[in-house]
Amino acid sequence: MGNLIDGKIIAEKIKEEVKKEIEHLKSKGIIPKLIAVSLGENPASMVYMNQQKKNCEKIGINYEILSLSENIDESGIIENIDRLNKNQEVSGIILQLPLPKGVDTRKVQSKISPEKDVEGVNPTNMGWIVYGKPFVGPCTALAVKEIINYLGIDLYGKEVVMVGHSDIVGKPVALLLVDKFATTTICHIGTSDAGKLEEHVKRAEILIVAVGKANLIPGDWIREGAIVIDVGINKVGDKIVGDVEFEKAKEKASWITPVPGGVGPITTAILLRNTVLLTKLQKGV
Ligand code: NDP
């Protein structure tokens, strides 16, 4: 039966290091400050931001929300981003998604200065992943890599299957692992529609799933002894579940992340780490 990968333990380890860095910054009179740009009233986003605020303040990062009207247009959002880019007191910018209809998300993300891009969504920071030199990358993708490092897995020649090809999870994860010479397959809707998802999943020594569909991966597809990293977050009734049929999958996996309590807490810790890394870069520390 699979061992549980406790995301909170890994997150705590990262936070300990971040805390030390923040103390060092404070000794130089520098306090990192994050600004979350939020558009309109979105209750889910509000819950998420309050959680971020709590996490930041606990560790010594100032956190403020910049609430903009949901009727603001693309150039209005970009003007606000520009202002934050120029503000020396702001260390990092988080852009809450989704943006209103008609606004080009990638264009707005590309306007966040790479030096303040704590979520690693600017094309420059994405590009560093392609070059195999991730500095601040998308937090969830780096969280997946952190789990693999924590387990001490040598990726060389391993069969990795990544289900989902989003810009912030699937694609960067695949690139990060390919760089360590894993044989990496990326599956997506085309794979499912071609009826081939099962055959790919069944040969995965490391399976990562980031889709957002509860029970997309039945437990009996899991290869004996596989490592299963489930990024998905789905609400089923009043429960939060991942994309993998957890109870059955854990009978076959050697290691498996629970949902919640797996990738999520590590993602948050990486956001804090990105903030500190960028603050140090900006201030030349
Ligand atoms: P996206 O919706 O951007 O991407 C989902 C991906 O899944 C797409 O590549 C999509 O392909 C693919 N897909 C959809 N249906 C299928 C299918 N039937 N078979 C195979 N692939 C499919 O989502 P994100 O990457 O942003 O997030 C994925 C999940 O991870 C969500 O549940 C989200 O809530 C969660 N998440 C969790 C985080 C954490 O910290 N734990 C952080 C970020 C996200 P196509 O585009 O071709 O349709």
Count other C-beta atoms under 10 Å from residue 260's C-beta.
15
Answer yes or no: do 38 and 145 share one domain.
no
Answer yes or no: do 86 and 179 share one domain.
no
Please, where are the H alpha helices in 87-160? 105-111, 123-130, 139-151
Answer yes or no: do 257 and 216 share one domain.
yes
Residue where one domain finishes, among candidates 114, 149, 183:
114
Answer yes or no: do 177 and 102 share one domain.
no
Please indicate whether residue 211, judged by its CB atom, sits closer than 6 Å to ligand 1. Answer: yes
The count of structural domains within the chain is 2
Examine residue 240 and state whether it is found in any structural domain, yes or no: yes
With beta carbons less than 8 A apart as the criterion, state whether 200 and 170 touch.
no
Please indicate whether residue 141, judged by its CB atom, sits closer than 6 Å to ligand 1. Answer: no
Please indicate whether residue 96, judged by its CB atom, sits closer than 6 Å to ligand 1. Answer: no
What are the φ/ψ torsions at residue 109 (nearest 5 degrees)?
A: -60, -35
Examine residue 20 and state whether it is found in any structural domain, yes or no: no
Examine residue 7 and state whether it is found in any structural domain, yes or no: no
pLDDT in tens, 60-116: 999 999 999 999 999 999 999 999 999 999 999 999 999 999 999 999 999 999 999
Examine residue 210 and state whether it is found in any structural domain, yes or no: yes
Residue type at position 90: V
Examine residue 130 and state whether it is found in any structural domain, yes or no: no
Q: How many CA atoms lie within 13 A of 154 on its CB side?
A: 2
Please, where are the H alpha helices in 122-223? 123-130, 139-151, 170-178, 189-193, 197-202
CA R_g for the chain: 19
Residue 89 belongs to a domain with what CATH number?
3.40.50.10860
| Rounded distance from Cα 211 to ligand 1 centre (Å) | 3
Contacts of 105 (CB under 8 A, 6+ apart): 97, 98, 99
Residue type at position 34: L
User: In this model, does residue 1 exceed pLDDT 90?
Assistant: no
Q: Of 41-50, 105-114, 214-223, give the lowest mean pLDDT range.
A: 41-50
Query: Starting at the edge strand that comes first in sequence, how are the strands of the sheet with 92-95 ordered?
Result: 62-68, 33-39, 92-95
The CA distance from 262 to 210, in Å, is: 13
Answer yes or no: do 163 and 233 share one domain.
yes
Answer yes or no: do 145 and 222 share one domain.
yes
The CA distance from 39 to 66, in Å, is: 8
Answer yes or no: do 181 and 95 share one domain.
no
Confidence label for 239 from pLDDT (cuts 50, 70 and 90) = very high
For the segment 218-225, the average pLDDT, to the nearest whole number, is 98
Predicted TM-score of the model (pTM): 0.97
| Residue 258: domain span | 139-264
Examine residue 122 and state whether it is found in any structural domain, yes or no: no
Examine residue 93 and state whether it is found in any structural domain, yes or no: yes
Answer yes or no: do 168 and 234 share one domain.
yes
Answer yes or no: do 192 and 157 share one domain.
yes
| Rounded distance from Cα 29 to ligand 1 centre (Å) | 41
| Rounded distance from Cα 92 to ligand 1 centre (Å) | 25
Please indicate whether residue 264, judged by its CB atom, sits closer than 6 Å to ligand 1. Answer: yes
Q: What pLDDT is stored for residue 66 in this prediction? A: 97
pLDDT in tens, 107-119: 999 999 999 999 9
Answer yes or no: do 84 and 146 share one domain.
no
With beta carbons less than 8 A apart as the criterion, state whether 233 and 240 touch.
yes
Answer yes or no: do 87 and 148 share one domain.
no
Residue 171 belongs to a domain with what CATH number?
3.40.50.720
Examine residue 55 and state whether it is found in any structural domain, yes or no: yes
Question: 33-39 and 62-68 as β-strands: parallel, antiparallel, unpaired?
Answer: parallel
Answer yes or no: do 260 and 181 share one domain.
yes
